[in-house]
Amino acid sequence: MTAKTAFITGITGQDGAYLAKNLLEKGYKVVGAMPRRSSSGVNLWRLDWLGISGQVVEEDCDLLDVASLIRVLTKHQPDEIYNLGAQSFVGTSWSQPLLTGQVTGMGAANLLEAMRLVRPEARFYQASTSEMYGLIQEPMQSESTPFYPRSPYAAAKLYAHWMTVNYRESFELFACSGILFNHESPLRGLEFVTRKVTDAVAQIKLGLSKELRLGNIDAKRDWGHARDYVEAMWRMLQQETADDYVVATGRTTTVREMCDIAFNHVGLNMDDYVIIDPEFFRPAEVDVLLGDPSKAKKQLDWHAQTSLEDMIVEMVDADIVRHQAAK
């Protein structure tokens, strides 16, 4: 049997890199969309970190350029299409709301339309998000909880989510939406709170920094490990029928507690270093997210394997190694 081909948008991001590694280990041919940025070219540091950059087929491709999507789908005829590409940072979505709408919302529609035209028999995964629950309507959010987006990012993702559902119902495409709660790793972008904390803890421990400025540390998130979550994406596309799934740990923790875990790991007290700075508060906050992963457990036989404590320790240690290497 010839190997299956997967096409991944967002392959240079955290999840794209872990997913590529996961699929390569399963024997897939992996094709990645490489959106060129004129100043620095494509940034492959995450694929390098996982040791797989030479194993991925790179294609110049951008979610905003539907012709480039059609060209790549025509050329590679993928069996599975994972749409992970996005302007993914909630904070930036208030300063670049239109770009976020274009890439995160319309980008998904571009890819669905390209698939409908060129490769309708492929299976499609949309990277939806717990941010769509926003001002939560139920204490524990499941696939049936109503949405209430609280940022331009969440609104754009909600459009992409409903387009995925609509393309499934209108055109009988095999299109799944994974509603993933926050997931982190040593490959997380530095702007997100977990990595901001673990990087700062590493710098403080090594004497490279003296403080950490944060916003609302009372916010609560359901945090898991990206390495675990990409496996759930793949399992969704192996089912008999396409569906939507919540992927979460079922545990929620404050930013403060997460921060405490990171400082404790290196023998420091967060109260000696953390400064609350209004700059990092948001125009509208998502106070708490807590996912109900029972459907994923039952139908995908999936559960989160990495605890928050183990993940934060892994992230702090990786950041210490990085800063030591750069010294």
Residue 120 near ligand NDP by CB under 6 A: no
Q: What sign does the CA torsion over 152, 212, 305, 57 have? A: positive
Contact with ligand GDP (CB under 6 A) among 103, 111, 179, 214: 214
Residue 33 neighbours by CB under 8 Å, 6+ apart: 7, 8, 9, 10, 11, 59, 61, 62, 63, 68, 69, 72, 85
Dist CA 249 CA 306 (whole Å): 9
Query: Nearer to ligand NDP by C-beta: 184 or 243?
Result: 184
Q: How many residues bind ligand NDP (CB under 6 A)?
A: 27
Comparison of 69 and 155: residue with beta carbon closer to ligand GDP: 155
3-state DSSP helix/strand/coil % of the chain, to nearest 5: 45, 15, 40
Instruction: Answer whether 112's CB lies under 8 Å from 175's CB.
Output: yes
Tell me the residue type at 160.
A
215 binds, among ligand NDP, ligand GDP, none (CB under 5 to 8 A by kind): ligand GDP
The smaller minimum CB distance to ligand NDP, of residues 76 and 268, is found at 76
Q: Does 35 bind ligand NDP (CB under 6 A)?
A: yes
Quick count: other Cβ atoms within 10 Å of Cβ 275? 8
| Among positions 5, 88, 141, 306, the unique one binding ligand NDP when judged by CB under 6 A | 88
Closest CA to 178 of 108, 122, 118: 108
Catalytic residue among 28, 125, 133, 153: 153
User: Which residues, numbered 100-159, are part of the site for ligand GDP (CB under 6 A)?
Assistant: 131
DSSP string, 46-114: HHHHTT-GGGSEEEE--TT-HHHHHHHHHHH--SEEEE--S---HHHHHHSHHHHIIIIIIHHHHHHHH
Residue 306 annotated in active site: no
249 part of the active site: no
Catalytic-residue membership of 18: no
17 contributes a contact to ligand GDP by CB under 6 A: no
Separation CA 15–CA 84 (nearest Å): 7
Binder of ligand NDP out of 52, 84, 261, 316 (CB under 6 A): 84
Q: How far is the CB of 297 from ligand NDP (least distance, A)?
A: 18
Task: Confirm or reject binding of residue 285 to ligand GDP (CB under 6 A).
Answer: yes
Range 167-186, binding ligand NDP (CB under 6 A): 180, 182-183
Cα distances (Å, whole numbers) of residue 231 to 15, 84, 303: 10, 14, 10
Per the listing, tokens 């898991």 go with 224
Among 103, 111, 230, 233, binds ligand NDP (CB under 6 A): 103
Is residue 145 part of the contact set for ligand NDP (CB under 6 A)?
no
Q: 10 Å Cβ neighbour count for 115?
A: 26
For ligand NDP, the closer of residues 179 and 212 by Cβ is 179
Q: Nearer Cβ to ligand NDP, position 106 or 266?
A: 106
Give the closest residue to 31 by CA, choosing from 74, 71, 87, 72. 72
Stretch that binds ligand GDP, among 16-24, 25-33, 38-46, 209-217 (CB under 6 A): 209-217
- Beta strand 253-254 with 80-83: parallel, antiparallel or unpaired? unpaired
Among 252, 253, 250, smallest CA distance to 295 is for: 250
- Taking the complex as a whole, how short is the minimal distance between the CB of residue 100 and ligand NDP, in angstroms? 10
Nearest approach in angstroms of CB 60 to ligand GDP is 28
Q: Given its phi and psi angles, is residue 77 left (phi above 0), alpha (psi -120 to 50 degrees) or beta?
A: left
Q: Which residues are catalytic?
A: 129, 131, 153
Q: Which residues bind ligand NDP (CB under 6 A)?
A: 9-10, 12-16, 33, 35, 37, 43, 62-64, 84-88, 103, 107, 127, 129, 180, 182-183, 189
Q: Which residues bind ligand GDP (CB under 6 A)?
A: 90-91, 131, 182, 191-193, 196, 214-217, 219, 221, 255, 280, 282, 285-286
